[in-house]
Structure 1
Amino acid sequence: MFFAIGFALGINSYLVPLLNKALQISSGQSYLVIAATFSAFLIFSYPASMVIKRIGYKNTMALSFLMFALGFYLFIPSAELESLPLFLLASFISGMGNAFLQASVNPYITILGPMESAAKRMSIMGIANKLAWPISPVFLALVINKSVDDVRLTDINLPFYIIIGIFILLGVLAYFSGLPEVKAAGEDSDNVEDAPYAANKTSIFQFPHLILGSITLFLYVGAETISLGTLVDYAVSLNLPNADLYAWIAPIGMTLGYICGVILIPKYLSQSKALLISALVALAGSLLVVFTPAVISIWFVFLMALGCSLMWPALWPLAMADLGKFTKAGSSLLVTAIVGGAVIPTIYGFLKDAIGAQNAYWVAVPCFLFILYYALSGHKIRTSKV
């Protein structure tokens, strides 16, 4: 399921330069495809939590794959009609599927075992997720069997029919799987001892570490999407040969980071310390992308991605700690924050039009600075009344 999330999002890294060329639109306009995908998280995160509450985690996961299939189907008439609005609608509906899947699978993995080792479990899932990002553009390129410069929009029809079939099959497998329903400590209990910090709370907005965590997740997803989703486009803008292959730079960096997380967390490294180190590495990488010569700057996206790798695994358990009966609502708020993947890359796209692709990476710097703050002190903030 985590592989499916990455695969679906990775499709955008192929579509952005394709639409830019085929529809003769600006970079800012082509990045609206990514914005449409991630904007679905803003609208559907809360409805997803209600669906989970009604039909459970497993059935919601199965439902999400059918939503994915519908969104992918709409890419085919979008290509036939060469319609940017229809492409945006298709991306939005596939994003809706992603919102439902993320809302169910992320908290599921977080609460599946001890909270102190949640980042380790999320790191294992992250390996599957991030390796899938470059596989989707490579899959599209292999099936289409043309270079990005020679691809026509209608060439995407066959690979999308294949993808639709795979996602429907995944939905069926998820529905008939033996995944058990799980609950967080104190989620369905009024016993103060089960979740003492949440016992007297009446709203998720009384959890400052959750609110700050949501802001941090918003910025993190935006910055990570830039590192994962701009590589092919950046390589094209630098006139580098075989631009499709540069899509692997970020996922390899993230996979190495996830492997470190599996080995080091929680035995040698706490989740907060992992987030701190990750923020520093990503900040250094973003500055190197901006300041080094353009031809080699693309390779420093590797450091951005390496730093991003443990942010997601560490952020979720830190932000969801002590939520008790507010666990599903807190998860919904965090899923809403994934809309950062719509906002930050779109800003990057319009900055690219204004100041060039390399300088546009400046947008990641303040994102990583805020993440550094959350790692240092933001996650520790609690209200005095317990």
Structure 2
Amino acid sequence: MSQEKTNFMIPLSFIGIMFFAIGFALGINSLLVPVLQGSLGISNAASYLIIAATFIPFLVFGYPAGLTIKAIGYKKTMSLSFFIFAAAFYLFILSANEKSFSLFLLASFVSGAANAYLQASVNPYITILGPLESAAKRISIMGICNKMAWPIPSIFIVWLLGKDVNLISIDDLEKPFLIIIAAFIVLGIMAFFAPLPEVKAAGEDESEDSADACPYAAGKTSVFQFPHLLLGCLALFLYVGVETVSLGTLVDYANSLGLEGAANYAWIAPIGIVIGYICGIIFIPKYISQATALKVCSWLAIIGSLLVVLTPSDISIYFISFMALGCSLMWPALWPLAMADLGKFTKAGSSLLIMAMFGGAVIPTLYGWLKDITGPQQAYWLCLPCFLFILYYGMAGYKIRTK
């Protein structure tokens, strides 16, 4: 690492708040999907376009976000993203007032753009803030902040309005969204003044010593010459999609099963993921490597997805937590494995990984389409082939760079 050894607790605390904000902004979809179905009378496939609109910006803005970071640094890019979030939630209010599904999609797109800039900032930052072999531990800590935030929007809005999810209409959203706008503006100001040192990966400096710091990248002329990165992008594409399905469909699935207090089921997947993150903090890298964690979690996710579709529907929803447990260490392991030895291409590689998060648009949309055809439970079959490819990457894909 090119940065001096310092106490990283303060930067970690601030980045943890930002990971929480990412989870909160994505978690709002868990509420919007059933609310829009009830208020606008749209199909399952159409309602899941809200999630797609949130993730399409990762493909569009992944590369521009990398250029922005290069121009103004990580910290100012983080600050910028929160102000974009505030604008997005103002658009949500306008969408509710106009009762326009098209405007809701636009608001979700703007929210996704903010998320793309924030993800492009915080993920490489936390990866290179310390030793690469312990990156999964740091990302696991951040992941707890992120995943515990996913259920908060649904529960907060249900509590604030005093209504269950199936009784909330888009006319009720203005008050809670105004509070959320104020929170994001405060976070933007806080991020701007946060004591976050600028960091660089080994070999990222354009200097004579960069080749010695990262010889694997020294002879490369393009970021597309790193096969372990490209396979990692595909694995991340699939992972983000299936994790979004596990986190973003719970309230809708509970509604489909006719379960009372559907918003409370939003906790099932985050609990499973947080358990996995805690294991990552304890075991990585002291007892197991990041690659081993990825293989173990892939097997857990495969078993969990089979249990979701093969068990009786009234208990199948609880096995989503097992699928989510498998998802837990995939993100912390995939990032450092895919970004290893990128040297001067670190920011470009990070941009590609951010673009790969477009999977959060494709896979949930496919789930919504399958739900209309096969029903909600059988639609979870979609997750199985995704987890099988991630298992391949954990067993062999990431090793290509060492051959």
For residue 151 of structure 1, report the CA deviation from its aligned partner. Answer: 1.3
3-state SS in 2 of match to 1:132: coil
Q: Is the 8 A contact 1:206 1:383 kept in 2?
A: no
1: CA distance, partners of 2:208 / 2:22: 35
Matched residue, 1:202: 221
Q: 1:300-379, aligned counterparts within 5 Å?
A: 300-379=319-398
Provide the residue aligned with 2:281 in structure 1: 262
Q: 1-side partners of 2:76 and 2:317: how far apart?
A: 41
Alpha carbons 2:34, 2:166 under 8 Å: kept = no
Match of 1:216 among 235, 238, 241: 235
RMSD value, Cα: 0.7
Change over 3 Å in CA distance of 1:241–1:223 after alignment to 2: same
SS for the counterpart of 2:84 is helix
Name the counterpart of 2:15.
Answer: none
Q: Determine the structure 2 residue equivalent to 1:111.
A: 128
Q: String of CA shifts for 1:246-265, please: whole Å, max 9, x gaps.
A: 00000000000000000000
Measured in 1, the distance between the counterparts of 2:145 and 2:108 equals 22
Following the alignment from structure 2 to structure 1, what is the Cα–Cα distance between the partners of residues 389 and 235?
Answer: 7
> Hey, what does 2:256 align to over in structure 1?
237
- Residue 148 of structure 2 is matched in structure 1 by 131
Alignment of 1:262-301 (within 5 A): 262-301=281-320
Verify the 8 A CA contact 1:287 1:362 in the aligned structure 2.
yes
Contact 1:208 1:383 in 2 (8 A): no
One-letter code of the match for 2:128?
I
- TM-score of the superposed pair, with normalisation by structure 2: 0.95
| Whole-angstrom CA distance in 1 between matches of 2:168 and 2:395 | 47
Judge conservation of contact 1:207–1:383 (CA < 8 Å) in 2.
Answer: no
Deviation, structure 1 residue 383: 7.6
The corresponding residue for 2:22 is 5
The share of aligned pairs that are identical, in percent, is 67
2-structure distance, mates of 1:316, 1:190: 27
Instruction: Find the counterpart in structure 1 of residue 119 from structure 2.
Output: 102
Match of 1:31 in 2: 48
Partner amino acid, structure 2, of 1:370: F
**Cα distance in structure 2, aligned partners of 1:366 and 1:280:** 12
| Distance across 2 between alignment mates of 1:200 and 1:166 | 46
Rounded Cα–Cα distance in structure 2 between residues aligned with 1:193 and 1:339 = 35
CA distance in 1, matches of 2:157, 2:231: 38
Instruction: Give the drift of 1:319.
Output: 0.1
Question: What is the CA-CA distance between 1:144 and the residue it aligns to?
Answer: 1.7
- Distance in 1 (alpha carbons) for counterparts of 2:56 and 2:208: 35
2:141 equivalent to 1:140: no
Cα distance in 1 for residues equivalent to 2:349 and 2:376: 36
Structure 2 counterpart of 1:247? 266
Provide structure 1 residue ranges, at least 5 long, that are not aligned to the other structure: none
Cα displacement (A) at 1:145: 1.4
Alignment deviations for residues 77-121 of structure 1 (CA, whole Å, 9 cap, x no partner): 101111000000000001000000000000000000000000000
Distance 1:327 1:149 in 2: 45
Alignment check: 8 A CA contact 1:209 1:319 kept:
yes
Aligned to 2:80: 63
- The Cα of 1:21 is off from its aligned counterpart by 1.1
Match for 2:65 among 48, 60, 69? 48
Shift of 1:190: 3.9
Contact residue 58 and residue 174 of structure 1 kept, 8 A? yes
Q: Does structure 1 retain, via aligned residues, the 8 Å contact 2:305–2:381?
A: yes
The TM-score normalised by the length of structure 1 is: 0.99
The runs of at least 4 consecutive aligned structure 1 residues that moved more than 6 Å come to: none
CA contact (8 A) 1:209 1:380 kept: yes
1:120-199 aligned at under 5 Å gives the runs 120-188=137-205, 189-191=207-209, 192-199=211-218
CA contact (8 A) 2:55 2:358 kept: yes
CA distance in 2, matches of 1:242, 1:148: 8
Letter in 2 for 1:356: G
- Structure 1, residues 190-215: CA drift from partner, whole Å, max 9, x if none? 43210010000001111000000000
**Structure 1 CA distance for aligned equivalents of residues 60 and 224 of structure 2:** 19
- Note if contact 2:38-2:169 (Cα within 8 Å) is conserved in structure 1: no
The residue type paired with residue 352 of structure 1 is K
**Number of the residue aligned with 2:13:** none
